[in-house]
Structure 1
Amino acid sequence: MIDSPYFPYAFAFLMALPFLVFIRQFVFSYIKLKNQEIKLLTVKGNSEQRVHAYERLTLFLERLKPANLVTKFDKSLAPHEYVFLIEKTINEEFDYNASQQLYLTKNTWKNVVNCKNSVLRLIHTTYENLSENATLDEFKTVFLMNYMNEKDFIAESIEELRKENLIVN
């Protein structure tokens, strides 16, 4: 067998075999670690996006509170102008934040939508029940009183966002 012309090749192959196995294992381990790193970064990215979504929607809900809405815009506006501008502002901000629903549960998103709709309904109801010659200050006062007479659905939704954020993260 030593006289065989293939002996040097067989000897070289046997000497290289452990190195080939070692290199193969190293490459597969490296690929596996890189895949784990990519998965970890993906999860971390989703978690950061989810936290950002909770922050943005909490801010949106805070801005929806009537106490914050009555401080917007010039006091010289007529009530119908104020209602138009507030409704436009709320809808624009809602549209801006609509993509955040991807990171929330269906129920939590539904609560955010219900808060927006409830505030808009309260604004319109207040305006419709107001006398023709009422001032903007009177409208704002009645609007605040009407909100205080209802349950605080905005605070409840913010609390649900906090709880869900703690559970998910």
Structure 2
Amino acid sequence: MIDSPYMPYAFALLIAIPFLILLRQFVYTYIKLKNQEMKLLTIKGSSEQRIHAYERLTLLLERLKPSNLVTKFDPNLAVHEFVFLTEKAVNEEFDYNASQQLYLPKNTWSNVVNSKNNVIHLLHKTYENLNENATLQDFKTVFLMNYMNGEDYISSTLEDLRKENLIAN
């Protein structure tokens, strides 16, 4: 039996089996670690995207504040021109940031949409209730006063964004 022609093969197999087991274990561990790394990168990426979304929406809400809107555009515009351009600017800014809703809870996005709609509604309501002979400066003053006397929905939405961002991170 010791002089068997299969003895060198048996000896080689006996030596190779532990190496094959170690190689298999190494490959299995390597694949497992790579999968964990990919999961961490995915979580980190979505977290960074969520933070970016909160930043962009905070900027959007700041730009929607009537105090910032009244400083836009030429002061020599007619009131109806100012209303048109302001509404257009608000909608364009909102459309530009609409993709951020993917990274936010549904109720937060609803608050952002409501804030935008409330600003446009206030803009039109102020225009409708304004005297025909009013100047652009009069319109801006009344617009700001109406916002200040009403609910500060933009600040409450900003506060909700801040709280949610702290909870999410």
TM-score where L is the length of structure 1:
0.98
Task: Give 5+ residue unaligned stretches, structure 2.
Answer: none
Tell me which residue corresponds to 2:76.
76
Tell me which residue corresponds to 1:111.
111
Tell me which residue corresponds to 2:163.
163
For the residue of structure 2 that corresponds to 1:89, the secondary structure is helix
* Separation in 2, partners of 1:59, 1:100: 12
* Separation in 1, partners of 2:98, 2:133: 37
For the residue of structure 2 that corresponds to 1:26, the secondary structure is helix
Runs of 4+ displaced beyond 2 Å: none
The 5-angstrom pairing of residues 1-169 of structure 1 reads: 1-169=1-169
What is the CA distance between 1:6 and its match in structure 2? 1.3
TM-score where L is the length of structure 2:
0.98
Segment of structure 1 superposing worse, 31-40 or 79-88:
31-40
Task: Give 5+ residue unaligned stretches, structure 1.
Answer: none
For the residue of structure 1 that corresponds to 2:133, the secondary structure is coil
Q: Deviations over 1:20-55 (max 9, x none)?
A: 111111111111111111111111110000000000
Q: How many residues align?
A: 169
* Separation in 2, partners of 1:105, 1:2: 75
Identity of aligned residues (%): 75
What is the CA distance between 1:3 and its match in structure 2? 2.1
* Separation in 2, partners of 1:84, 1:125: 13
RMSD, aligned CA: 0.7
Give, as a single letter, the amino acid of the residue that structure 2 aligns with 1:64: L
